[in-house]
Amino acid sequence: MEGLSPSTSDDPPTSTVLLDSCHFSQVIFTNVEKFYIPGVDITCHYNLSEYITPRRKDWVGIFKVGWKTTREYYTFMWAPLPSSPDNAEHQQVLFKAYYLPKDDEYYQFCYVDQDGIVRGASVPFQFRAVAEDDMLVVTTQGEVEEIEQKNKSLLHENQKLKEKLTNLQKRNEDLQEQIDMAKETAKELEDKVHLLQSGTMELQRAQDLQALEISSAHKELAAVKEDNVKLQEENQDLKRRLEALRSDSETLSLDAKLAKGEIIRLEIQNSDKEAELHQIKEENKQLLTEKEHLESKLKATLSCVDQLKKNYGNLKKELEEKALLLQTLQKEKDEMDIESQRLKRENEDLMAHLPEVLDNVPAGAFTQSSRNAALVFGNPYSSTPEHPDPDLDSMKKCPMCYEVFPPDLEERYSVHVRSHCLECPYCEETFDVSNKQVYDDHVFCHGLD
């Protein structure tokens, strides 16, 4: 393809269809000259038969004689559509001189439809200047015989070309079958590609969703870690407060031991307190169960931090209630100290008037021991030391519940006293069984370490 038409912006529709498949009689070219003068525009005239329906992409091309397919055109012009059915037979197109061939080879006009099939072809012509001897052509007998010989050669060559075209056509059919099979295979591959693309898109969406979930999980984990740090800080604060409370409890226990002689008289009043303490113990057991449950949930997952905070608040409230209870006991002890001081003053007043009473009593009416006989444990303010009953000295009394054991039940006494104590599994510290909540908090603090 050596030239282009100025009236087109794209190539015309062509095909690889062989010559035997073309229909050269559906379009008839008329007024075709034997030669055309180079550098001059030429007009191509043709008639449309009733066997062809002109379409918008039909075109007229100039081909060098010997062409095989419509792709070998030299130049072309779009074939105009008839303005009406009446003038559909006679059509023409104008080829500009600029796009015409410059050599003296033989060319011909061909009408090609928009499917790339040739529907008509003209007789051959040349592009050359007019010579004087062209006005009269005299052909001798020798030249005629030479032309006939050339025609025979051309016919023979044409026959060979037809055989070659037949072979090429068969080969083209085989290639067409292979192309069809390749198209089917390509379609199957295209379907597989579509499936793979769909799977890839689904996988991408799943990966995006997983990335969002991972990002959300990271954010939640960061929040849980932050809450865990806060909880550890609160637990450290609680540990310090528990240590202070334990120190206060030990001090209070020491004061209670020093004042147990005074508290004996309050046992009846303390029975109600013991019932309250028992209730507190039951509540502490419930709190312990809840706390153990929360600890197991904390080890399994960090999502239980909020619940542990809530229980920590309950524990803090319970400790505050205990602190209030300790303040109440301390207040009662202070009241007992005041009462003891008052009794001591009364006893001192009695002792001060005792000589006057003794002067009015006959001598030997009662001895010092008889005067103190009315006191079960003797007179604590007497200057003369008392000698308690030796049997009472040999009796063992529990320092927690004041239960009395005979001397021959030493082992039972020891087991009983140990039953009032709770030993820490991490250290050697012991706690009164009534202070089980303090014991549990102490063990919990070891767990935090």
43 and 54 part of one domain: yes
- Residue 167's H or E segment, with its range, is helix 141-258
pLDDT of residue 95: 96
Summarize pLDDT for 371-381 with one digit per residue, the tens. 444 444 455 55
58 and 122 part of one domain: yes
126 and 4 part of one domain: yes
Last residue within a domain, chosen from 369, 387, 405: 387
22 and 116 part of one domain: yes
Q: Does residue 196 lie within any of the structural domains?
A: yes
When divided into structural domains, the chain yields a total of 4
Decide if 123 contacts 103 (C-beta within 8 A). no
Q: Does residue 408 lie within any of the structural domains?
A: yes
Ranges of residues in the chain with a pLDDT under 50 are: 7-9, 132, 134-138, 365-377, 382-388, 390
Query: Which residues constitute the domain of residue 434?
Result: 388-449
Decide if 125 contacts 36 (C-beta within 8 A). yes
- Locate all alpha helices (DSSP H) within 92-140, ordered by sequence: none
21 and 106 part of one domain: yes
Q: Does residue 142 lie within any of the structural domains?
A: no
371 and 291 part of one domain: yes
- Residue 415's H or E segment, with its range, is helix 410-419
Range 232-267 burial, b when 16+ CB lie within 10 A, else e: eeebeebbeebeebbeebeeeeeebeeeeeebeeee
Decide if 306 contacts 294 (C-beta within 8 A). no
What is the torsion angle, in degrees rounded to the nearest 10, for the CA atoms of residue 141, residue 142, residue 148 and residue 149? 160
Task: Please give the structure tokens belonging to residue 190.
Answer: 């295209």
273 and 400 part of one domain: no
Cα distances from 284 to residues 19, 117, 144, 325, in angstroms, run 108, 102, 136, 14
Q: What is the DSSP letter of 194?
A: H
279 and 298 part of one domain: yes
Cα distances from 207 to residues 69, 195, 214, 389, in angstroms, run 54, 18, 10, 90
Burial zone of 376 (CB within 10 Å; 0-12 exposed, 13-18 middle, 19+ buried):
exposed
SS3 127: strand
Beta bridge mates, 125: 107
pLDDT of residue 22: 66
Confidence (pTM): 0.32
4 Cβ neighbours under 8 A, 6+ residues apart: 75, 76, 99
pLDDT of residue 140: 63
* Rounded Cα–Cα distance for residues 292 and 99 (Å): 100
Q: DSSP for 21-77, please give it.
A: G--TBSEEEES--SEE-TTS-EEEEEEE-TT----TT-EEEEEETT--SGGGEEEEE
Task: Please give the structure tokens belonging to residue 332.
Answer: 């009662």
191 and 230 part of one domain: yes
Summarize pLDDT for 223-280 with one digit per residue, the tens. 888 888 888 888 888 888 888 888 887 887 787 788 777 768 877 877 877 888 888 8
- Average pLDDT of every residue of the chain: 79
Last residue within a domain, chosen from 187, 214, 241: 241
pLDDT of residue 386: 47
Q: Does residue 189 lie within any of the structural domains?
A: yes
Q: Does residue 200 lie within any of the structural domains?
A: yes
118 Cβ neighbours under 8 A, 6+ residues apart: 17, 19, 22, 23, 24, 70, 110, 111, 112
Last residue within a domain, chosen from 348, 371, 387: 387
178 and 155 part of one domain: yes
pLDDT of residue 86: 62
* Rounded Cα–Cα distance for residues 447 and 242 (Å): 14
* Rounded Cα–Cα distance for residues 347 and 128 (Å): 163
Q: Does residue 249 lie within any of the structural domains?
A: no
Q: What is the DSSP letter of 95?
A: E
pLDDT of residue 21: 57
What CATH code is carried by the domain that includes residue 74? Answer: 2.60.40.2840
Q: Does residue 366 lie within any of the structural domains?
A: yes
Q: Does residue 445 lie within any of the structural domains?
A: yes
284 and 161 part of one domain: no
SS3 424: coil
Beta bridge mates, 107: 64, 125
306 and 383 part of one domain: yes
